[in-house]
Amino acid sequence: MSLLQVNLPGLHLKNPIMPASGCFGFGREYSQFYDLSKLGAVIMKVATGSERFGNPTPRVAETASGMLNAIGLQNPGVEKIIENEVTFLSQYDTSIIANVAGSTIEEYEYVARTFNNTKAVHALELNISCPNVKEGGIQFGTDPKMAAKVTEIVKKASNLPVYVKLSPNVTDIVAMAKAVESAGADGLSMINTLTGMQINLASKRPIIANKTGGLSGAAIKPIAIRMIYEVKQHVHIPIIGMGGISSAEDVLEFLLAGASAVAVGTANFSNPLICSDIIDELPTTLERYGFDAVEDAIGKAVMNE
């Protein structure tokens, strides 16, 4: 099945499919359903400097063809993740990507440096959709300068390749992509969730305790595709695409738009076997649309211009 292989900075993937951060925990639960060695990579749940409890519940709500979540970065902290979770995942023949977050640049730096000391992690995914507490809570991911800054610092703190995960809640996604590329990002990961809200008619309050939540799932796919397509025309680093993927056809659509690999998030909740199923179906789907290999499909819609 060499036709599924993709090579990205620091990642030699047997196939382009990985579960998205936050939607797969650290793999334990889904390892009951299939052998995680089947996966191209696993993107772990977010890691912060120390343990976080996260937001009050309810933390999720369902929307038309999607869902909202406001988990709030709950995680046991980078040290425990390395100790317990990376160790667990290392038994599988798959790449491990650590999702890195923080409330300050220093926290990002700390987490990145800590991961750097473990051989088992292959790449970092920089989650910049976090409020910067030192800058009045503006998200790192909505300001090109702050995004560039945190990318630069993390790059210095770590030898691992860094994929910066872009937030779609911006006017100009290309400007964000260019800013982090210039700051040294090895790749991009896009898109994170769109900020949304649902109101409970009976209680007259937002359903999610945090009020707003991140919108994910099939509903946002057209936005993800548009953003990847736009960014692909302007940057040279590879893109890990995500946002509403739930089938091998969806994967191909992301590849054509410019993604070199993809992550599957919300769809794990409807079907815990989704990544495995997609890996099984992908060869046939590629062939049906005339592709000999994943690498041939990457960015084809953009090159067609």
Ligand X SMILES: Cc1cc2nc3c(=O)[nH]c(=O)nc-3n(C[C@H](O)[C@H](O)[C@H](O)COP(=O)(O)O)c2cc1C
Binding residues for other proteins, rule: CB under 8 A, are: 22-25, 28-30, 32-33, 45, 53-54, 57-63, 65-67, 69, 71, 74, 207, 217-218, 266, 268-273
Strands (E), the chain: 6-8, 11-13, 17-19, 41-43, 60-63, 66-69, 95-100, 123-127, 162-165, 187-190, 194-196, 199-200, 205-206, 213-216, 239-242, 261-264
Q: Residue 34 binds what, of a copy of itself, other proteins, ligand X, none (CB under 5 to 8 Å, by partner type)?
A: none
Task: Tell me how crowded residue 172 is: count the other CB atoms within 10 A of its CB.
Answer: 11
Site string for a copy of itself, 132-171 (x = CB under 8 A): ----------x--------------------------xxx
Q: Which residues contact 228 (CB under 8 A, 6 or more apart)?
A: 190, 191, 239, 241, 254, 257, 258, 259
CB nearer to other proteins: pick between 227 and 274 = 274
CB nearer to a copy of itself: pick between 28 and 211 = 211
Q: Take residue 128 and report the two structure tokens written for it.
A: 């910049």
Q: How far apart are CA 193 and CA 289, in angstroms?
A: 29
Q: How far is the CB of 303 from ligand X (least distance, A)?
A: 25
Reference 131, options 48, 232, 9; nearest CA is 48
Q: Take residue 23 and report the two structure tokens written for it.
A: 């939607």
Q: Residue 21 binds what, of other proteins, ligand X, a copy of itself, none (CB under 5 to 8 Å, by partner type)?
A: ligand X
Q: Take residue 209 and report the two structure tokens written for it.
A: 């305790």
Catalytic status, residue 130: yes
Tell which one of 127, 132, 158, 169 touches ligand X (CB under 6 A).
127
Which residues in this chain contact a copy of itself in the complex, by CB under 8 A? 63-66, 68, 142, 169-172, 194-199, 201-202, 204-206, 211-213, 215, 217-223, 225-226, 229, 244, 249, 252-253, 256-257, 289, 300-301, 304
